[in-house]
Structure 1
Amino acid sequence: MSIRFRSSCTEPQARGQEFGQQYAAKIRGSVLCYQALFDRVAGREVDLLALGAQALDAIAAFAPPLHREILGMAEGAGLDARLIGAINARTEILALLGAQLRGECSTVVKIDPFSDAPVTVQTWDWYADFAEQWLVWEIPHADGSHTTTVTEFGIVGKAGVNSRGLGLHFNILHHRHDGQRIGVPVHVAARWLLDTQRDVNQALQLLSAANVSASSSLTLVASADNASTAVSVELHPGGPGLVFPHEDGLLVHTNHFLSSPACQFDTEPAQYPDTLVRYDQLLRRLRGRPGLRAGDILAAMSSHLGSTGAVCCHPDSSLPEAGQYATLASILLDVKNGTLQALRGGPCRHAQLFGAV
């Protein structure tokens, strides 16, 4: 059962303080886990305070309310705000350290242009050490709207949905020009989009203005006026690039670039070509199938091909525990109703519960 928390405060700093007080131990755990990960990648002790200060500057310039929320979170948890800034920039710091992370996450969206009920599912794969370090956070806003996000303790957002008709899935990417500085954290960009935007046009404008230093695909899904649409926004230094669904309304994204010219600078396929295998599997299993349901997508994602092409990822008991990957959650968005389900573990645990055929 995943942890679910609903904030009672709408003012950003008070909301952060409430969250920090509620989950101080978990946030400290996130800081310790990321310090250990960064040190392992760098082969030395990484100065989180210095990197976190740079991240806070970028966050303050891009989304001042989220900067205030982080300050409140740090106060509530009794931590230096720079440490919270650093874990929010975990993707950017890993890029700065030169980490070539194994590909993570597979996203599938199926839309019907004449229906306002898109079907969306993603796996969230990350280090198994973080299996107890995430939650579903429900965030009310002063205007009566709300954001719901699946995220890590201390990080302001990730995949999620808002009550304005927008949803967002999240896949890491790797570009040759990543890691030259600490830019706008992609997790902050995701949360700020969900907090503030109500349609795809606004969201694309916001993401185009995000001066990022590490790459990710943010797949936007919109539902309004008896219609739905989707687009993957491939953020990268100098980006973004856009990827739209196939003619049958299917949009699949794993961990390699699909847009040009970014794909020419993609470092993922050479290091971890399983992203190509996962993408091909999902396309072949799902393309051209009318009436797809969430259970059908979860069934297609229940693939265990070992270290190559496993959409549903489990730790290998024959390998050392440190650095192992796992599917921590399977995330389903209901964009029409502004809600989500975060199912603990991989899709193989849940496909039958959703009526897979």
Structure 2
Amino acid sequence: MSIAFVPASGTPREIGLAHGRALAVPLRAFLADGLARLNHLTREPLTMPGLLPSIAAYRAAVGAALPDLAEEVAGLAEGAGISEDEAWLLQLRREIIGYNQVPTAGDCTTYARTAGPAAADGAGAGPVLAQTVDLNANLDSHISVLRIARTGSPRRSLVLSFAGLLGYLGLNSDGLAIGLNLVTDGQWRPGVSPYLAIRHLLDTASDVDQALKILAGLPLASSRSLMLCDSERAVYAEICGNDIRVTEPASGRAVHTNHYLHGDFVPFDRQSAADRVSSDLRLAAAEQGLAGLAPDADAEDHFAVLSRPPVCIADHGDFRVERTVAAAVLFPAAGRLHLRPGDPSRSATRVFTV
């Protein structure tokens, strides 16, 4: 299974142009496939004219809060030869799906830890963040890794992306790694999507402390749990409505799946009973798997945890329901992203450096 590697540097527009030009053909094909595959998922068909008011509301919110990323979206559109509204739709698919109440079976198992001395070759130990990526719509057909170097900043970012997203999960050259999990609170609204928020944090934050301060100032659109890790801290920040709760386990090991763990947010959880069973099983399996890993565990050791059910969700043949489309192991101190596309129990590891 192929992974598109896209090095992009310069101004925000130049970065977007490079991204769009590199993926122009697959992105145009993706948009033509049932409106970015949305119409294969929703109960009622969507149209671009019908989505324009929602896109405009999100676009205005992101433009006001993160003008650099709005400019990058404009560059993506130009480079790919698509309209700016189509480029924005690629950023907002999860929010559009959420508004149309497509059922979910979960979205990712994520863990991080700080323990262990860094290996000299960066192959293992040190701080680590690892996760499965569970998505619907067979998005393992559109995996890319972006290496971002912005003009005027010494910081570089390495970002796992799907189908034109500016951000999903990743790490930066300062040693910060960020992953995520879907949690559902029923309070989604126009604002900065968590995917774009993660990209902004990787571009602008040097460590967990700074990232949390920046995150608290963003008008976030939808609920997620963000896993953040650097050499000192491993935490998860749960988002519910306009509030954020940060949990930092004393063990230095943080694990999250798809239900709220903080007591303040548990009453707002909208996950179905069936989905909660999956989330609980994956949480317990990931906690056990992580606890059993040696301090000097390498990427392949972590992939062994991520590749076993119930953490790994095999292809069940239902396009509308999530399955594991990738697994990633990030060593932020070494600036390395280890990635297995598709079902990680069936694919080889590729390594990217920041």
* TM-score, length of structure 2 as denominator length: 0.87
Contact preservation (8 Å) 1:34, 1:87: no
Correspondences of 1:190-229 after superposition (within 5 Å) = 190-223=198-231, 228-229=232-233
Q: Distance in 1 between matches of 2:112 and 2:35?
A: 34
Structure 1 residue corresponding to 2:99, chosen from 93, 96, 99 = 96
2:342 maps to 345
CA drift of 1:299 comes to 2.0
1:168 maps to 178
Structure 1 segments, 4+ long, off by >6 Å, are: 113-116, 350-354
CA drift of 1:49 comes to 2.8
Contact preservation (8 Å) 1:111, 1:229: yes
Q: Could you say what secondary structure the match of 2:184 adopts?
A: coil
Partner deviation per Cα, 1:106-157 (whole Å, 9 max, x = no partner):
1121222886921221111112522211201101122232111001132101
Structure 2 residue corresponding to 1:241, chosen from 241, 245, 248 = 245
CA drift of 1:16 comes to 0.9
Q: Distance in 2 between matches of 1:352 and 1:85?
A: 31
Contact preservation (8 Å) 1:24, 1:77: yes
2:20 maps to 20
Contact preservation (8 Å) 1:248, 1:288: no
Contact preservation (8 Å) 2:229, 2:235: yes
1:298 maps to 303
Matched, 1:78 2:81: yes
Q: 1:351 to 1:244 in 2, by over 3 A?
A: farther
Aligned length: 338
Partner deviation per Cα, 1:183-208 (whole Å, 9 max, x = no partner):
21111101001001112222111111
Q: 1:254 to 1:183 in 2, by over 3 A?
A: same
For structure 2, the 5+ residue unaligned runs are 119-124
Contact preservation (8 Å) 1:302, 1:348: yes
Q: What letter is aligned with 2:287?
A: L
Matched, 1:272 2:263: no
* TM-score, length of structure 1 as denominator length: 0.87
> What's the % identity of the aligned pairs?
28
Q: Could you say what secondary structure the match of 1:233 adopts?
A: strand
For structure 1, the 5+ residue unaligned runs are 305-309
Q: Distance in 1 between matches of 2:229 and 2:190?
A: 28
Q: Distance in 2 between matches of 1:139 and 1:123?
A: 23
